[in-house]
Amino acid sequence: MSRLTGFCRPFFLPGILLSIFLGINSAHGSRPSTEIREQPSVKNSSNKVMWNAVPVPEQAPCNRSGMADLPGVRLWYSDTGGDGPTVVLSHAHSGSADFWGYQQPVLTKAGYRVITYSRRGHGKSERGNETDFGFADVDLHNLVVTFLGVDKFHLVGVAAGGGIAIDYALSHPERLISLTIASSLIDVIDPEYVKLLSNLHRKDLTRNIPNYYIELSASYRAGNPAGTTEWIELEKLVMSGDVQNLGKISQRHTNKIIWKAVDSIKVPTLLMTGDADSYVPPSLLRLQASHMKHAEVLIISEAGHAPNWEQPEAFNSAVLKFFQKQDGTTGGQSTTSPANKNIVTLSAFAD
């Protein structure tokens, strides 16, 4: 089995697409209607109809990659370069730069400059000062703006990467073309929200359950065992250093992330989650969307806490459509595909 170690080389995994769009109308509070259009199914090697194979394109070549010397730390990054709009991908706490393998070639082919990186203590990146890990949004800014010289960019954050993206949007809204937040708790600290999350995420019940079992949907694990195994192997490579003795990296936010602050974000925003996400179920996403009334909202079916990995066609098609709307372009390559035909924009609330 191949292991991803920084992109700029091919890898292949099977997959499936089944998606629904959910539009939010903040003036109403009735239950949303939904519609699902299924992609024609295919048979797996066991001759049982379970999952649709989605081959991953060969990884796009990197213009630059390696360790970036930043204030207080060295972070690993990859940069495809090019003259198109820039996209920066911020990974989950259980991930690293290697978890964007489904997105990097697709976004590059569509005409975008794609930057991935691993945060402190993840993947190949160093941990930095053990007494002060600093601020994740500051590291992001130092890498993308100061080190790589990017002026404005699309920022995509999955799970914990979404909380960092929210923090960055509060610190540097002028730098963002758009903001995409997927399957993220967004790190709001209002007491009622914290209490809601503590009831939703019972650590006393889940502390001994492997991450893959919580983060990947049951449908994905059953339908794509090879992809599940690859995810598990990649996760083993996530935490650098002696994690058992030194502990996991916990970086602070620059801003106090409360609902009032989230309400103030005006950057064009796409919110999404998987319908089987045990961390960020659709009901929680609707709460988040009620504080970002300008946001587009997407639910991806048969996906858990890693929609970019579990349902890459749905994720990529939605993100590209959103980016191109902000850029006023159709990108460097056509993105018309069967996947796009299965994404339906709906009115969630009746007038």
Convert the pLDDT of each residue in 233-256 to its tens digit: 999 988 865 555 566 788 999 999
Q: What is the pLDDT of residues 112-154, one digit of tens each?
A: 999 999 999 999 999 998 888 999 999 999 999 999 999 999 9
- 270 with 322: CB under 8 angstroms? yes
Residue 148 in contact with residue 87, Cβ under 8 Å? no
Q: What is the mean pLDDT of residues 210-227?
A: 93
List pLDDT tens digits, range 77-120.
Answer: 999 999 999 999 999 999 999 999 999 999 999 999 999 999 99
Which segment, 14-18, 73-77, 335-339, is predicted with the most confidence on average?
A: 73-77
- Of 176-185, 307-316, 328-337, the poorest mean pLDDT is in 328-337
Decide if 90 contacts 158 (C-beta within 8 A): yes
pLDDT band for position 47 (cuts 50, 70, 90): very low
> Mean per-residue pLDDT for 327-349?
46
Q: What is the pLDDT of residue 74?
A: 96
pLDDT reported for residue 119: 95
% of the chain at pLDDT higher than 70: 77
Reply yes or no on whether the pLDDT at 31 is more than 90: no
- Kindly report, residue by residue over 291-306, the tens digit of the pLDDT: 999 999 999 999 999 9
CA distance linking residue 294 with residue 48, whole number of Å? 42
- pLDDT over 90 at 29, yes or no: no
pLDDT value at 210 more than 70: yes
pLDDT of residue 4: 53
pLDDT 10s digits, 167-184: 999 999 999 999 999 999
This prediction's pTM: 0.83
- What confidence score (pLDDT) does residue 303 get? 95
For 216-230, what is the mean pLDDT? Answer: 92
With cut-offs at 50, 70 and 90, classify the pLDDT of residue 1: very low
**Chain mean pLDDT for the chain:** 82
Q: Which of 23-27, 211-215, 239-243 has the lowest mean pLDDT?
A: 23-27
Residue-level pLDDT at 55: 66
Residue 250, pLDDT score: 82
Highest mean pLDDT pick, 35-49, 238-252, 264-278 = 264-278
Which residue has 């963002």 as its token pair?
Answer: 176
Would you tell me the crossing angle of helices 191-200 and 282-290 to the nearest 10 degrees?
A: 170
pLDDT for 46 beyond 50: no
Phi-psi region for residue 7, left (φ > 0), alpha (ψ -120 to 50) or beta? left
